[in-house]
Structure 1
């Protein structure tokens, strides 16, 4: 169908005036317009003729959507939206009105963006949060992972049904078995429900905090974010190079605030007893068993321990 603007610009030519009348009839007899007329017999044809440009837009955008080239190549005037016509009475007279309506692809994109905004990551590969998830692949990728994956799925479903619990999960296993990926999946699924979440790569977090330890306001902002989010994940805890300040004045207060309030999650290469040994040692003061035990007392009672067994997915032996 020709552009309505092109037709109107050529009205001085008799042959083209005839063509414009043919196009008008073609438009008024288009199946979409005929259906609109049958659904709204109260709308006089004279009103339709006053809104030929709207009808044209409506028909053209419906054609584009029927042959959708994808959201990024959407040819409609307002990307990801199509013209929707409604008939409304104003002052007792029915008339035609146009509204831009988001298509299914745009609705899905907007939904994904809202979900993603509920998740904050510090020093974690964004691909783990943005590439999407296939539950059957997660469960079936390595049969040895099935018990741990099942526990994760159970936690997600229970939280969706019963609400947030103060208990989190401690997921440990060897290198490359997918611990971070599974925790990102948990964050994503619960963000759909409306919960906010933060995942931090613990070694980089500790080094960053050491670097800015004299900048009190920045440190406070990070600590407050970790304290107050609904779901907090310390990824690869046990791999960081602790000093007493980071352990006793950062990790300790965060965990002390969250226990009995909000769940905290962990991934680690260590089982819990191995983590306790790690937390008992700092580069400055050496071994301090009591302080390690004190921190573990804010971790162990508030998590369910899940061992993840499986192949190294990174393509090398651990």
Structure 2
């Protein structure tokens, strides 16, 4: 039986192909990566490289691509975010080379981030606030006036990661634009990395949508059940909504009644807790209902740590 090399020589242009293969073999044998590979696997000789020329060439090519990585979206390797890993094994006196595809660090980081994002749902909150990553030291130094509030949030995150979630959440209160929503998005992202699911809801828009969901009981029930069951629930800008008795008593009340002894709920607001109680005690339909406002607050006040977020208004600041 003729060898592959002899067959190649017999074809038209086969001699040139053989010469190119021999030239490529010589280049690979001099390549520092192959020299390192052969020092790890001394049994790999020139003949083993020749018999596995294509996979050895791909191993070297993809290693070089990774060394000058242009970014995951521009990955030049055969499989985006993967590179060829080469190993060798001697069996019955013969050396065999094996290759397999391995995920690179950038690909693994993207998969991790996708898994984190899959645990977070937002209603009417800008996804950019959820997706941007910040280092804790950057958060601390961004506005020193709010450093006490940042410290409280960071300590909460550390406790949750170390001891798990309890029933107590956080109530962030302060003036417009001091970063309350951002701090909650940071908390949500950090704890999603630890495996917790979360939902953040912008209350003014959510309340308006609930008026539509009144006519779709199945969708309403699905939404309420999701907010009951998620590990972390954030009501953003609570107190700014146009409140009505049905939303207060039958939607918000039902969610908080379920969560108050089970799962932590978080809030951002321009109101302190007393002002929020006054907000819940008055509706445009029924006027003053002090007992109903107090009833809602009995499901909020005992289950939060108050965080006063001081600082400058950063909205619109470049």
Alignment TM-score > 0.5, same fold: yes
The match for 2:242 is 241
- Kept in 2, the 8 Å contact 1:83–1:100? The answer is yes
* RMSD between superposed Cα atoms in Å: 2.0
- Residue 132 of structure 2 corresponds to 131
| 3-state SS in 2 of match to 1:234 | strand
Q: Distance in 2 between matches of 1:11 and 1:141?
A: 70
Task: Describe how 1:94-243 pairs up with structure 2 within 5 A.
Answer: 94-243=95-244
Alpha-carbon distance change, 309 to 11 in structure 1, aligned in 2, over 3 angstroms: farther
Give the equivalent residue in structure 1 for 2:5.
none
Deviation at 1:131, TM superposition (A): 1.6
**Inter-CA distance 106–263: structure 2 relative to 1 (3 Å threshold):** same
Question: Is 1:255 equivalent to 2:253 in the alignment?
Answer: no
Offset at 1:43? Answer: 4.3
SS in 2 for 1:78: coil
| CA distance in structure 2 between the aligned counterparts of 1:212 and 1:35, rounded to whole angstroms | 65
Query: Hey, what does 2:4 align to over in structure 1?
Result: none
1:194 and 1:107, CA in 2 relative to 1: closer, same or farther beyond 3 A? same
User: What's 1:61 paired with?
Assistant: 62
Give the structure 1 partner of residue 315 of structure 2. 314
CA change 1:44–1:14 in 2 (3 A) is closer
Pair 1:243–1:89, CA change in 2 (3 A) = farther
Measured at CA, do residues 293 and 89 of structure 1 come closer, stay the same or move farther in structure 2, by a change above 3 Å? farther
Structure 1's 117 and 17: CA in aligned 2 closer, same or farther, altered over 3 A?
same
Q: CA deviation at 1:44?
A: 5.4
- Runs (4+) of structure 1 exceeding 4 A deviation are 8-11, 88-94
Q: Deviations over 1:49-84 (max 9, x none)?
A: 222111111000111111111222111111111111
Cα gap change, 1:290 to 1:49, in 2 (>3 Å): same
Any stretches of 5+ residues in structure 1 without a counterpart? 1-7
Deviations 1:163-221 (A, max 9, x none): 11110000000111110000000001111111111100011111111111121110011
Judged with a 3 Å threshold, the aligned counterparts in structure 2 of structure 1 residues 170 and 90 are, in CA distance, closer, same or farther, namely: farther
When the two structures are aligned, how many residues end up with a matched partner?
Answer: 309
| Alpha-carbon distance in structure 2 between the residues aligned to 1:199 and 1:11 | 68
